[in-house]
Amino acid sequence: MPIVRAMTRTLRPTTHAVRPALLRLGVGAFSAVHNLRRRAMFRTLHRQGEDRWAPVDAAQLVNLAATAGLAHRVTGPLNAALQLWTITYRNSWGMVFHNDNTLTMHQMALGLGRSADALSVDALVTQRTLLPNRVSRHYGGIATVMNLATCAVYLISGVAKVRSPQGWAWASGDTLREQIAADAIRKESFGGVPPKFAGEMYRSKGQFGLLAIGALVIELGAPLSLVDRRLGALFSAGAWGMHVGIRMIMGIKFSYNTSGVAYLPYLTNIPALSPR
């Protein structure tokens, strides 16, 4: 059926093995650095004395192997499971951070998919080259799965806003303004320094309506990013800008998002210039 073929071309474009390989390298490298910087935090999550804590670095080591594409059929799925366990454990001790969820789901898609057929140790050993001439829909589908995960996270965030007690009135910006003020007060109360933009914007009430509407458009409109790669690029730019704004106004770091790595699947999921 024409509609089925059109959907297949959109969701599973024929592309080169290099495309998911680049995602594997980018996401894996980010995760390695990100988790290494948070080792101290992971060590102190439990309520027992630190002398009782004997951490195992299996997740970090397996992540490095999966990123390098070393025995990826084993290390890929294993890394997906270990990252899921690690982030689940971390989020069980506090807030659920959607940027961690996005990173974990991206690693699961890469770990369970054929993302190491190029630019990997496996390719170098079995094909004698880092760039084997492989083109398949399997490779295009990986980025789509990653984008579906990204869309789900943003859509849930948008739905949560309009299903709050404020409902669609969240778009007025009043709730956002109160959240920014409360966050600044909390930082001052605990000896922190709130971003200077928080105070400046709080005195300019009108801007919050535009910011709130923009956030809802990005989050609730996320599924449209799957329809066309140009919409995907537009969504990526808007979402990235939103997180940069959150960093400047509230001082909240969404490292995976502001790094831009979270949106790489949108930029690499382009059909290959080869016969289907």
pLDDT digits (tens, 9 = 90+) for 171-226: 998 888 888 888 888 888 887 777 777 777 776 666 788 899 999 999 999 999 99
Q: State residue 4's pLDDT score.
A: 67
Contacts of 136 (CB under 8 A, 6+ apart): 14, 15, 17, 114
Token look-up 């024929």 returns 14
Diameter over CA atoms, the chain:
64
User: Which of 48-52, 79-83, 268-272 is most confident?
Assistant: 79-83
Q: How confident is the model over 116-142, as a mean pLDDT?
A: 93
The yes-or-no verdict on residue 275 having pLDDT over 50 is no
Domain range holding 30? Answer: 14-163+221-268
In a domain, 276, yes or no: no
Whether residue 255 lies inside any domain: the answer is yes
- Quick check: is 109 in a domain? yes
**Is 130 domain-assigned?**
yes
Q: How many structural domains does the chain have?
A: 1
Q: State residue 51's pLDDT score.
A: 59
Would 5 be classed as within a structural domain?
no
170 within domain boundaries: no
List, for residues 58-95, the tens digit of each pLDDT value: 888 999 999 999 999 999 999 999 999 888 887 777 66
Residue 147 pLDDT > 60, yes or no? yes
Contact 219, 213 (CB under 8 A): no
Alpha helices in the chain (DSSP H): 2-11, 18-37, 39-43, 58-68, 72-91, 98-112, 121-127, 137-162, 174-189, 196-202, 206-220, 229-250, 255-258, 264-268
pLDDT digits (tens, 9 = 90+) for 9-28: 777 888 899 999 999 999 99
pLDDT the model gives residue 201:
75
Whether residue 273 has pLDDT greater than 50: no
Mean residue pLDDT of the chain comes to: 86
Q: 3-state DSSP call for residue 166? A: coil
pTM of the complete model:
0.86
- Residue 55: the pLDDT is 56
Asked if pLDDT for residue 138 goes beyond 90, the answer is: no
Asked, for residue 179, whether it belongs to a domain, the answer is no
Is the residue at 92 inside a domain?
A: yes
- Give the model's pLDDT for residue 71: 96
Residue 264's pLDDT band (cuts 50, 70, 90): very high
The residue with greater pLDDT, 202 or 250, is 250
